[in-house]
Structure 1
Amino acid sequence: MEEDRPVPPPEPLAGADLSRLSVAEIEVRIGMLKAEIVRLEEALARKRASLDAANAAFRL
C-alpha cells in the first residue's frame, strides 16, 4: 500500500540544486533559512553568556 512506503527525507536546504524550484519555493526556503539563522544566533548568544559566566566565576 502507498501508506506503508517510507517518506523520503527532505532535501537539504543548504547546497541543494535550486534550478528546478519555483519563485515561491525559493521564497519559502529563504524564510526557513532566515528562521534557522535566528535560532542559531540565539543559541550562540546563550552559549557565549554561559561561557562568560563560567570564565568570570573562575577568575582570580
Structure 2
Amino acid sequence: MNLDDLEPIKTKTKVKDLEPMGLEELNEYIETLALEIERARIEISRKEKHRQGLDGLFKA
C-alpha cells in the first residue's frame, strides 16, 4: 500500500469571478467567507488540542 493513498485528495479552489457581483452580493460573499474562515480556525484548534493530548500520552 502506498502512503499517498491515505492522504486526502487535495483540490484547488476555483477563483470566483467577482466582476458581475453587486455591492450587496460582494458583502454577503465576504460574510460567507468570514464564517468559513472561522469554521476552519475552530477545526484547526480542535486538531491541535487532539495532537497535544496524543503528544502528552506518548511522551509519558
For normalisation by structure 2, the TM-score amounts to 0.75
Equivalent residue for 1:40?
40
Please give the root-mean-square deviation of Cα atoms over the aligned residues, in Å.
1.6
Report which of the two has the higher share of helix.
Answer: 2
Alpha-carbon separation, structure 2, partners of 1:27 and 1:14: 19
How far is the alpha carbon of 1:15 from its aligned partner?
A: 1.1
Counterpart of 1:23 in structure 2 is 23
Structure 1, gaps ≥5 residues long = 1-12
Match for 2:35: what amino acid? A
Would you identify which runs of 4 or more consecutive aligned residues in structure 1 move more than 2 Å? none
Letter in 2 for 1:26: L
Which runs of 5 or more structure 2 residues have no equivalent in the other structure? Answer: 1-12
Q: Which has the higher contact order (CA 8 A, sep 6+)?
A: 1
Instruction: Report the residue type matching 1:55 in the other structure.
Output: D
What percent identity do the matched residue pairs reach?
A: 23
Partner of 1:7: none
Deviates more, 1:13-22 or 1:33-42: 13-22
Aligned residues: 48
